[in-house]
């Protein structure tokens, strides 16, 4: 689709709008980067799917997207997809792939108490990938994990301008703080890209908690990987492409346009 190398986009991929929390950081670092944001609404939520379903679905969809949009780089802005399928995607694509995995390392560096929390999808919190992040970066710390699938729906609803029951946020934080040693928890990893979109609401429930996510690190990584590349002189119109029905995206248009995503298409 794209012919001039300057116009080759960065392709973002998530099950829904969660990846906007990563896009926000990348746009701050690279304001003129052409963007294609792909949301697999036909597959949302990923968090309740099996490893086999995700490992089959994500590389296949990304293959089609890369063929259509010829991106210079792919960002899988989804912890669930990455903790399960990052290696499969890298093996299947011939473009650089930047992944999003729970920010356990920065959380461990920030914790004073040695007790850190992870909020993610059910699929993410059970992954061996998380065990390895814990062992590699926080071996001397206690990691409390809690699956908070309700927060995915809450973030989607918020971005559509819909009201969300505030008890959703109370339940999510309670899922960590009510565990053994939960009273010592001082840093919580938002290990699903939807969750930073409701960080203010979570902070209202837990005002002394420090929340961390991977978006800033991903933006730094993308800037590094593209440091010798050229970008257009002005920001181009961004493309939002969904695997689901287009009429279901009408209520998202205002939020998407604040990210410059004004062309809405189906895959």
Active site residues: 78, 192
Taking the C-alpha atoms of residue 85 and residue 188, their distance in angstroms, rounded to an integer, is: 24
**Of 42-50, 89-97, 126-134, 228-236: span binding ligand DGL (CB under 6 A):** 42-50
**Of 77-85, 162-170, 196-204, 227-235: span binding ligand DGL (CB under 6 A):** 77-85
Q: What residues between 216 and 245 interact with ligand DGL by CB under 6 A? A: none
Taking the C-alpha atoms of residue 33 and residue 21, their distance in angstroms, rounded to an integer, is: 16
Q: How far is the CB of 50 from ligand DGL (least distance, A)?
A: 13
Q: Which of 172, 238, 154, 194 is nearest to 22 (CA)?
A: 194
The CA distances from residue 197 to 128, 143, 173, 267, in Å, are: 26, 23, 15, 25
Task: Output Rg (C-alpha) for the chain, integer angstroms.
Answer: 18
Q: Are 254 and 229 in contact (CB under 8 A)?
A: no
Binding of ligand DGL by 47 (CB under 6 A): yes
Q: Are 111 and 209 in contact (CB under 8 A)?
A: no
Binding of ligand DGL by 142 (CB under 6 A): no
Applying CB under 6 A, among 75, 124, 177, 242 the residue interacting with ligand DGL is: 124
**78 to 117: interface string for ligand DGL, x by CB under 6 A:** xxx-------------------------------------
> 265 Cβ partners below 8 Å, 6+ apart?
239, 240, 241, 242, 246
**Of 14-22, 27-35, 177-185, 253-261: span binding ligand DGL (CB under 6 A):** 14-22
Binding site for ligand DGL (CB under 6 A): 14-16, 18, 44-47, 78-80, 121, 124, 152, 192-194
């Amino acid at each position: 689709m794209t012919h001039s190398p300057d116009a080759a986009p960065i392709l973002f991929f998530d099950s829904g709008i969660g990846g906007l929390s990563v896009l926000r950081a990348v746009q701050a670092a690279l304001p003129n980067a052409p963007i294609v944001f792909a949301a697999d609404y036909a597959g949302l939520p990923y968090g309740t799917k099996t490893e086999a379903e995700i490992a089959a679905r994500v590389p296949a969809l990304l293959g089609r997207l890369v063929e259509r949009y010829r991106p210079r780089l792919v960002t899988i802005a989804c912890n669930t997809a990455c903790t399960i399928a990052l290696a499969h995607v890298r093996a299947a694509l011939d473009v650089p792939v930047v992944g999003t995995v729970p920010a356990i390392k920065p959380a461990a560096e920030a914790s004073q108490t040695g007790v850190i929390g992870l909020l993610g999808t059910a699929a993410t919190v059970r992954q061996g990938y998380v065990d390895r992040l814990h062992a590699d970066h926080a071996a001397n710390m206690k990691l409390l994990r809690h699956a908070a699938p309700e927060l995915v729906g809450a973030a989607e609803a918020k971005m559509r301008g819909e009201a969300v029951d505030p008890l959703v946020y109370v339940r999510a934080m309670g899922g960590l703080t009510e565990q053994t040693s939960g009273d010592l928890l001082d840093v919580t990893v938002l290990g699903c890209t939807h969750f930073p979109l409701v960080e203010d609401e979570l902070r209202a429930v837990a005002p002394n908690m420090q929340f961390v996510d991977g978006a800033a690190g991903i933006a730094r990584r993308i800037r590094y990987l593209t440091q010798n590349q050229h970008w257009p002189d002005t920001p181009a119109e961004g493309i939002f492409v969904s695997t689901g029905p287009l009429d279901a995206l009408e209520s998202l248009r205002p939020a998407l346009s604040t990210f410059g995503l004004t062309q809405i298409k189906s895959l």
